[in-house]
Each structure stands twice: as structure tokens, then as C-alpha cells.
Amino acid sequence: MAGRITVAPWEGLADELHQLVHARRPRVASDTQIRAALIAAAAEGSAWTERFLVSEFNQVVDAWQVPDEAGYSATPRPGRRSRLGAKQRAALWPIFAAARARLAGAGTVTWAQVFSGLADHYAARAEKPFSHVVVDEAQDLGVPELRLLCALAPEGENRLFFAGDLGQRIFQPPFSWKALGVDVRGRSTTLKVNYRTSHQIREAADRLLPGEVRDMDGLEETRKGTVSVFDGPRPQVMKLDDVAAEHAAVLAFLNSALSDGLQPDEIGLFVRSRAQLDRARTVARDAGFVPIEPGDTPTAPGSNLIVGTMHLAKGLEFKAVVVLACDDGVLPLQERIETVTDEAELEEVYDTERHLLYVACTRARDRLLITGVHPVSEFIDDLDVAST
């Protein structure tokens, strides 16, 4: 049975299937190439920001594989905060069409094109590569990924199984699954028993999110009534005067965890972005370890400590976690706030930043320390944990 089970990330699966269908690997454009194509396609003095163009292309035009201006005008934009009228879409379309032409001229495709092409290929075939598909981290599925997964198994009851947590949605905007033929209404269950995180950590982290989350199809996920199967110490929150004081506090936390028998690979240090990584790396080194990022090859058993950004924390688990550099202007990230064009988009930024902190905090099983330097992030107070 084990030999008949394929385990793969979505892009890895698409890469393998593309080779089976086309006898070659897809040449996928990087984020940098896509951004450059959009910038080059936009006229100087364009009213559209670079961030908006990239976001609109990735989440609407490319995700839904919009074919032309008429299609763009008719394409719904679920999850997109800024509204666009017919004239605005007509003005935008030449930019997206030109960017596509530039990417194609360079011999590249986007992952959305790869997924969509494979979805069309297998949807037209009676013979499918799999009998059933099980999807983890389903909250991060995008439109093209879901289309492909639906095409990989034959029609029938229980051919698709999804597991996910809307509270950990940090990569994809919401969209209607039902519109793509996946209707899980009346067939979904919210699990209420947490086996991974202590009651104290889970309870504190849940305060970062609304009590109930509703998706585009009306499915409601509530965090009320969830229980953990074990207790642990209350999370610690420290608001420090400067980076030196934070350094000393985190170092003391690490030394305490190590003296209590925790191994280095059972501890993780996370920050909001790469700009804060040095604060975590310095502490790891002063604790006597070599910092490595998630996914890196360990240099020697027992000598490494995982240090990474909150985005890279997703899917990981540690007995002890430090989330540091939670300063004002870092969380939420000031760079993202400065690119906001309207109040609705600002709300989207804040929601995503909260989810990031939630993900980082819930990587901890038993011990959690959250630190920041004055003035600290406003999110810290939402945790409702006694701070020092």
C-alpha cells in the first residue's frame, strides 16, 4: 500500500505531472521576473502602485487565467478589497496583457498556467492519476491549485479530503470553492481537540483572531469550545527597553529551557521578516549554537538552532518557541502599511499580520516567549498575557 501513495507539495506534484504530459519541466517565472514584467508594461507615471499590479495579476488575472479584457471585466474579485469599475479594468488590461507577452517571450510560464494547463488536460481524460486526493493546509489553496486537485481523481463520493485551519491562512485571499465545483457544505467538521499545543498557549494565541471566521461559501469556523489535552506554563510576554535587554531576556529563556533538558532541535526562534533575523541569530550564537533556517541542512547534530521568519514557521513544531522583535512598525510591518491605498486594504494587512503572529505562537508545544522593544506591537496586548 505504501508504494501506491504519493506525498508531494503542490508545486512538486505539478512539476512531475507536467513532465509526464509534456516530457519536459516547466520553465516557471520567478516572482522577480513577474514583477519586472509588470513594471515594464506599466507606463511611467501610472496611477497603479507596483504592489497593486503584482497582487491583482497574481490573485485575479493569473489565478483565474483571465483570457482577455472582456473576461477580466466579468471576473469576480472575491477577497479583493479595492473595487474596480469597468473603466479601471479597461485601463489595467493592456498592462496585464503586455506583461504576459513579456513572460511568454522569455519562454517562461507562471505556476498558475502550469496548474491550469494540467487541470484542463486531466479534466478531459477519463483515466486519472489518483483514485483519491488528501490535502493538508487546505486554507492555503489557491484557485489554480484547487482546480488541478479536482481534476486528478475520478468523480465519486469522498474522492477529495481537505484539512486546514482558517486561522492560519496567510498566503491566499478567500474565494468560493463552490464556484469551482467543490461544495463541502454539510460535509465539514470543526475539530475541537488540540493535541499539539498546551491549553495556555492555545488560549492566548486564539485571542489574536476573531471568535468566528466565515468563508466565501458561508461555512463558519468557530474557535469556541476548543480544548487542549495538556497544560503548560503560561506564555511569557516581555516589553523591553532596548535590543540589549531583549537579547539578555531571550538568552535567559534559552538557557533555562536547555538546563531543563530540552534539545536544540526542540527550540525555534522566529521574527516577522528577514530584517530582524540578525537579532535572533545573535542570541542563538551567544547561546552556543549555529543558527540555521528551516529547511537548511544541519551542520552537526546538537549544534544548530532553528531561526527563521514567521512565514517559514508554518508547519513546524517545537517544545519551546521565542517570537522576538515584536516592535511597533515591525508587527504589523510598516512597509506594508505604507503601500495601502484605502481603509479596506489596511484591514486586510492587519488581518494577515495577526495570522502570522498566530502561526508563530502556535508552533510552541509547551513554552512560549514573546518579546518586543518599546514601543511594542499593539498585537501583544491582544494576547491578554501578563507582561513584564
Q: Give 246-278 pLDDT, tens digit per residue.
A: 999 999 999 999 999 999 999 999 999 999 999
CA distance 277 to 271: 6
CB 323 within 8 A of CB 359: no
Q: What is the pLDDT, as a whole number, of residue 28?
A: 97
Q: What is the pLDDT, as a whole number, of residue 325?
A: 96
Q: What is the pLDDT, as a whole number, of residue 115?
A: 97
Give the domain-ending residue among 61, 89, 108: 108
Q: What is the pLDDT, as a whole number, of residue 237?
A: 95
Write the CB contacts of 121 (distance below 8 Å, at least 6 apart in sequence).
Answer: 21, 151
Do 96 and 236 fall into the same domain? Answer: no
**How far are the Cα atoms of 38, 122, 143, 181, 329 from residue 119, in angstroms, in the given order?**
26, 5, 11, 13, 42
Q: What is the pLDDT, as a whole number, of residue 347?
A: 74
Q: Within a domain: residue 264?
A: yes
Supply the CATH number for residue 371's domain: 3.40.50.300
Give the domain-ending residue among 61, 80, 108: 108
Q: Within a domain: residue 320?
A: yes
Q: What is the pLDDT, as a whole number, of residue 234?
A: 94
Closest CA to 190 of 158, 157, 146, 221: 221
Q: What is the pLDDT, as a whole number, of residue 388?
A: 66
Q: What is the pLDDT, as a whole number, of residue 184?
A: 80
Q: Return per-residue pLDDT of the chain as tens, 388 residues.
A: 456 889 999 899 999 999 999 999 999 999 999 999 999 999 766 778 888 899 899 989 999 999 999 999 988 776 555 678 889 999 999 999 999 999 999 999 999 999 999 999 999 999 999 999 999 988 888 899 999 999 999 988 888 999 888 777 766 667 778 888 888 877 888 888 889 899 999 999 989 887 766 665 566 667 778 889 999 999 999 999 999 999 999 999 999 999 999 999 999 999 999 999 999 999 999 999 999 999 898 888 789 999 999 999 988 999 999 999 999 999 988 887 776 656 656 777 788 899 899 999 999 999 999 999 999 999 998 886 766 6
Instruction: Quickly tell me which residue has 516547466 as its cell.
Output: 26
Whole-structure pTM value: 0.78
Q: Within a domain: residue 220?
A: no
User: If you compute the radius of gyration of the chain from its CA atoms, what whole number of angstroms results?
Assistant: 23
CB 233 within 8 A of CB 200: yes
Number of domains in the chain: 2
Secondary structure class of 143 (helix, strand, coil): helix
Q: What is the pLDDT, as a whole number, of residue 217?
A: 59
Q: What is the pLDDT, as a whole number, of residue 247?
A: 97
Q: What is the pLDDT, as a whole number, of residue 251?
A: 97
| One-letter amino acid of 39 | I
CB 236 within 8 A of CB 368: yes
| One-letter amino acid of 363 | R
Q: How many CA atoms lie within 13 A of 125 on its CB side?
A: 16
Q: Answer left, alpha or beta for residue 132, where phi above 0 means left and psi between -120 and 50 means alpha.
A: beta
Q: Within a domain: residue 307?
A: yes
* Structural domain for 46, as ranges: 31-108
Q: Within a domain: residue 197?
A: no
Q: What is the pLDDT, as a whole number, of residue 153?
A: 93
Q: Within a domain: residue 127?
A: no
Summarize the chain as % helix, strand, coil (round to 5). Answer: 45, 15, 40
Q: Within a domain: residue 89?
A: yes
Give the domain-ending residue among 108, 129, 150: 108
Do 100 and 247 fall into the same domain? Answer: no
Q: Within a domain: residue 150?
A: no
CA distance 80 to 197: 33
CB 165 within 8 A of CB 191: no
